[in-house]
Chain A
Amino acid sequence: MINNRLVTVAAGVAAAAAYLACPAAVQAGGQFNAVLIASNCAVCHGPDGKSAGLTPGLDKLTKEGIADHLRKFRSGEKPSTIMHRFAKGFNDAQIDAIAAQLGK
């Protein structure tokens, strides 16, 4: 949780500066907002990771478990229908920050 907060704070400062000053820096990983992107997971996995069924819920998974899944989706080690297409959008720090928001 502390790590995650540090990521979020650093991200906020870097983000605003990057957006205003340097378009190239916007593509860098530093400005990541874990709360925002984790909220986007709700559309398939349910609010707070509690799924209504048909898609897997996330609420029983640990932070480490979610990060591991995302890395394996990203590398292709774990096959998926759509998750690899999402996971490739995030670097390691971002995956850990998302997992910290969603996991137990």
Chain B
Amino acid sequence: MSKHSAAKNSRREFLHLAGAAGVVSALTLTSRVSLAGSSGRVAVVGGGFGGATAARYVKKFDPGIDVTLIEPNTKYVTCPFSNTVLGGMREINAITHSYKGLSRAGVKVLHDSVSAVDPVKKRLATKGGDSISYDRLIMSPGIDFRFEDIPGYDEAAMQLVPHAWKAGQQTVNLRRQLMAMDDGGLVIITSPNNPFRCPPGPYERASMIAYYLKHNKPRSKLLILDAKSKFSKMPLFLEGWGIHYKNIEWIAGNKGGQVIEVDAKNRVAITDFDKHKAAVFNFIPPQKAGAIAHSAGLTDKSGWCPVDFLTFESTIHKGIHVIGDAAIVTGMPKSGNAANSEAKACAIAVVALLKDNKPMVPMTSNTCYSLITPEHGISVTAVWTASPDGYKKNSGGVSPEGRDAAFRKLEATYARGWYANISRDIWG
């Protein structure tokens, strides 16, 4: 108690003396702020695109802060580029990252699960029996599935009918099923209603699997059953499919594409109008915030986490910030790059708040590439500024339609460059 007060007093004194320079040091990457001694304790829950970035950047923006990242797995398999594993272009190891880089950056990495969060005492408990006190908690819980909305789909059904919407064992399972399938077998992919993780993801996945089928199982077809009637980058995907694939069929939500029930044992997708039997069935379920967000009481009726757009602090529990797919960040998509950008904005806000400074209005950005073939890439980008109503777009847009193969190839190359660099930015 006395130690904590002393630290706080000296920090205030420092800010008083330093005046405006104190604001600068919080925002530039100097180590000057650490002169004031320990700058506080930040716990981060979840080691994906949001959480791992937040842990690294809190430490980078203020090395004096004690940062602990709590993540159950010792390796992280990225959803971005997992579709290339399904298409046979990459091995799973090429999209798997360890947390050694974060440890080297000064983040304490604890491989454990959080069992309880006490927002009043600012403490969390782990399944391993640790109790961790924090001044600010950043949670990046990712997604969970609305099993309750889909009769027939549950944890057991996931092995026969993989979702592969959290990468890892599920990705490997789906890849094995595709490889084992006879030529001529039908592959079904479903796409859920908004909002969900990675809006263009199901269509990139369809492209990568169609590429595999075209070259390995030419008599096979791929059917997309969609709950929606339009989707992200739709004109660019349709253009690309027109050039490269005759084996993809897409059924829109308003034409009977919405799957309302799953018969996992027989790999049958049931819609209002029809039953579709697959040889390989990839069911991408409707989604909500990750389980820990619900048990910590951070979600609203929508199943996602409302936050203040300036700081990403929960509007339900003070002192807890929520970023990434689980958060309601109006105007921004649920993507890995968006989570990375939100994490940096949140990290700057947390550093400011720990110094009793007013947070700034953050700007965020997103670059989202999709591959249609290994040499045909498309993208959507945006720059946003926070406002009280959400994130307002400054600029952005999708790749132009009607460009030549050289342009598409360049975007595919940049897609691989993006993956290599964002991975280093987070886990490197």
Residues of A within 8 A of B (CB): 5, 8-9, 11-13, 15-16, 18-19, 23, 26-27, 31-33, 35-37, 39-40, 42-47, 51-55, 81-82, 85-90
Contacts and interface: CB of A to CB of B under 8 A. Distances in A.
Contacts of B410: 81
B340 interface: yes
Given A15-B361, A19-B361, A36 B348 contact: yes
A98 to B, nearest CB: 10
A87 B382 CA distance: 10
Interface string B352-364: 0000011111111
Contact of A36 (B344, B388, B424): B344
A42 B360 contact: no
A51 B89 CA distance: 22
B28 A36 contact: no
Contacts of A8: 23-24, 27-28
Interface of B: 20, 23-24, 27-29, 57, 61, 310, 337, 340-341, 344-345, 348, 357-365, 367, 379, 381-383, 385-389, 392, 394-397, 399, 407, 410-411, 413-414, 416-418, 420-422, 424-425, 428
A40 B341 contact: yes
A15 B362 CA distance: 9
21 contacts: A8-B28, A9-B24, A19-B361, A19-B386, A23-B388, A27-B385, A31-B361, A33-B27, A33-B361, A35-B29, A36-B363, A37-B365, A40-B341, A51-B417, A53-B417, A53-B420, A54-B413, A81-B399, A81-B407, A86-B383, A89-B394
Given A31-B361, A39-B57, A40-B344, A89 B388 contact: no
A8 B422 CA distance: 25
Contact of B362 (A18, A36, A51): A36
A26 B387 contact: yes
A90 B362 contact: no
Contacts of A9: 20, 23-24
Q: Count chain A CB atoms within 10 A of each CB in B27, B360, B362 and give the residue with the most.
A: B360
Given A36-B345, A81-B407, A54 B360 contact: no
Which 6 pairs across A and B sit closest by C-beta, in order of nearness?
Answer: A54-B417, A89-B383, A55-B417, A89-B395, A89-B394, A16-B358
B414 A85 contact: no
Contact of A35 (B348, B381, B383): B348
B363 A33 contact: yes
B360 A52 contact: no
Contacts of A86: 365, 381, 383, 395-396
Contact of B359 (A16, A81, A87): A16
Contacts of B362: 33, 36
Contacts of B361: 15-16, 18-19, 26, 31, 33
A58 to B, nearest CB: 11
A19 B388 contact: yes
A89 B365 CA distance: 10
A82 to B, nearest CB: 5
B428 to A, nearest CB: 7
Contacts of B379: 81-82
